[in-house]
Structure 1
Amino acid sequence: MNVIAPIPHSKSKALLEQIPRSKFLMVDRYEQIEGQFNHITQEFKDSTYRILSELAPPIKKFEEIIFFHNPDSLDPKEMVGAFKKFLVDFKIKGRILSQYIPHSAEKGKVYFTLDNFLLWEIMKDVKAKNLAFGKDVGLLSSNDEPAKEFIGITTFSTDFSEMGTLAGKAALSREKISLTLPMELKRRMTL
């Protein structure tokens, strides 16, 4: 069994098309290819919109939400559309920036990033300015992990442990599986 987590690339689809469907399990990101195939993946557009909608009340306590998304990154592009729709539907002031300028953290902002290096940079800046998370500044990240839980960062994420367990069972049993795992909100002190 070939267990593959495809990355967004112009050649990905053509390469995946070459693998016999009976020997293929796609995990993590879903790449549309011809025919029936096994997959245990996550979905970004509707899930991001749903999570942001749940967070609308605390986000509205701040002046603005800023989503850092570099169009050249491998971050899911579907999240951009979900973010824009959320801003319009909930009448929330927000913008998308491709990069964070060091030392630019400001009171009254919610920062949303998928990049852990950027996340830590924002946290250092907020701490240096003696601002309080959840009160002066909001912070939202994706892909939950123990460090984010320990520090108290609000995240939303697919359960990657469950994904790995299911993928292992599917690869060993060779049973058919077609599953999109939901994203779950982990509300913590930063928002």
Structure 2
Amino acid sequence: MKIVFENINKLKAATHLNKHEKLISGITSAIESKDLVKGDRLPSINKMVAEIGFARKTIVKAYEELKGRGIVESKNFKGYYIADVNTKTKLRVALVLYAFHTFQEDFYNTFRAELGKKYIINVFFHHNNLDVFKDILTRISGRYGMYVIAPIQTLEVSMLLKKIPSDKLLVIDRHISLPNDYSYITQEFESSTYEQLKELLPEIHKYKQFVLFFKTDSDYPIGILNAFNKFIEEFNINATVEAQYKTGSIKKDRLYFFINDSDLWEVLKDIKPKNYTIGKDIGLLAHNDNAIKEVIFGGITTISIDFKKMAKESANYIKLKEHTRKIIPSQLIQRKSL
């Protein structure tokens, strides 16, 4: 502990650092000189106040910043300890997603690249399971400097997220109601999907039936189902909703709309032996774009947001910490499948 006090006292005259930065520099310098190693206990807040004369809130702020970088951890209110000797880390980020779908892989890869190597990112998947989500929050609570979370859209989850300080939480992907001081970068499903379907009306009329594959007991956005039902009723479209595609059930003159890529792949496998022409005998429309849909079978038409754009803006929020409340609009990407 003595070396920490010595380092901080040496920095007291430094005019380019504020008080909490002097505390951080004093501790990280002791780590870099190996006077502090992993597992060592830091001086208590009271001890720091007595020895260096800084305000209690200044010391708490410094310790919390070091916790956010993963360098320090607090153990059951028994004090602060060195958790990691990598002093170059700027921030530890907990990224909580639904699952590692292809489009979320695009988000992660861009997010990772935009933040760079000085940011530690740990990824967790809740699979739209409330118990799993709650368990993840319990395990990561207080251990990260920033939480980037794609939430389950329930009131209980909203209440849980309010326990995270607003300056440490960014909600992504699915929108959820939180007070105005919380930031989000999300997408909207209902009105945007409806508008894109209207734009596709001439192509949709080419087919005898419009089939949406939608599981109501899954993480599928209910807004897509609402938009679909509104659209087919307003324009008198012969349509049906099925939970999932059944292998071998493909029919000519149908337009299939997919939320889950696994259903899309099954249909594509069934098309080949039938010698159907995509965009003529069979129509395909999918949610969430990715590189595979861009090239396979001449391209699959999609309704999607730009997940790379969402990732870049999320990374920018973490670096700048500027309050944001933004909805990324979806776009229609027309290809040969209609």
**Where in structure 2 are the equivalents of 1:9-48 lying within 5 Å?**
11-48=156-193
Large movers: runs of 4+ above 4 Å:
none
- Cα deviation, 1:25-78, whole Å, max 9, x if unaligned, reads 111111112343111100000011011111111010100100000111101011
Match of 2:269 among 103, 110, 124: 124
Instruction: Report how many aligned residue pairs link the two structures.
Output: 191
Between structures 1 and 2, the one with greater strand share: 1
Is residue 2:286 matched to residue 1:141? yes
- Closer, same or farther: CA 123–10 of 1 in aligned 2, 3 Å: farther
Comparing 19-28 with 141-150, greater Cα deviation is found at 19-28
- Cα deviation, 1:65-107, whole Å, max 9, x if unaligned, reads 0000011110101111110000011121111111211111110
CA contact (8 A) 1:8 1:74 kept: no
CA distance in 2, matches of 1:184, 1:75: 18
Matched AA of 2:172: V
1:105 alignment counterpart? 250
CA distance in 2, matches of 1:63, 1:165: 41
CA contact (8 A) 1:3 1:171 kept: no
Is residue 2:322 matched to residue 1:184? no
CA distance in 2, matches of 1:50, 1:36: 30
CA distance in 1, matches of 2:228, 2:181: 31
CA contact (8 A) 1:107 1:136 kept: yes
Give the RMSD, CA atoms, in angstroms. Answer: 1.2
CA distance in 2, matches of 1:69, 1:10: 23
CA distance in 1, matches of 2:173, 2:272: 34
CA distance in 1, matches of 2:183, 2:313: 12
1:63 alignment counterpart? 208
Comparing 12-21 with 129-138, greater Cα deviation is found at 12-21
CA distance in 2, matches of 1:117, 1:166: 29
CA contact (8 A) 1:131 1:137 kept: yes
CA contact (8 A) 2:153 2:175 kept: no
Consecutive unaligned residues of structure 1, counting only runs of 5 or more, are none
CA contact (8 A) 1:65 1:111 kept: yes
What is the Cα deviation at residue 7 of structure 1? 2.8
CA distance in 1, matches of 2:334, 2:252: 20
CA distance in 1, matches of 2:183, 2:169: 6
Q: Highest Rg: 1 or 2?
A: 2
Tell me, what secondary structure is at the counterpart of 2:285?
Answer: strand
CA distance in 2, matches of 1:123, 1:183: 25
Tell me, what secondary structure is at the counterpart of 1:125?
Answer: helix
CA distance in 2, matches of 1:131, 1:62: 14
Q: Please report the TM-score for the alignment, with normalisation by the length of structure 1.
A: 0.96
Between structures 1 and 2, the one with greater helix share: 2
- Cα deviation, 1:93-151, whole Å, max 9, x if unaligned, reads 11111121111111010000111111000111112211111000000001100000011
CA distance in 2, matches of 1:10, 1:138: 38
What is the Cα deviation at residue 9 of structure 1? 5.2
Larger RCO of the pair (alpha carbons < 8 Å, separation 6+): 1
Match of 2:224 among 79, 97, 120: 79
CA distance in 2, matches of 1:10, 1:116: 29
What is the Cα deviation at residue 10 of structure 1? 6.2
Identity %: 40
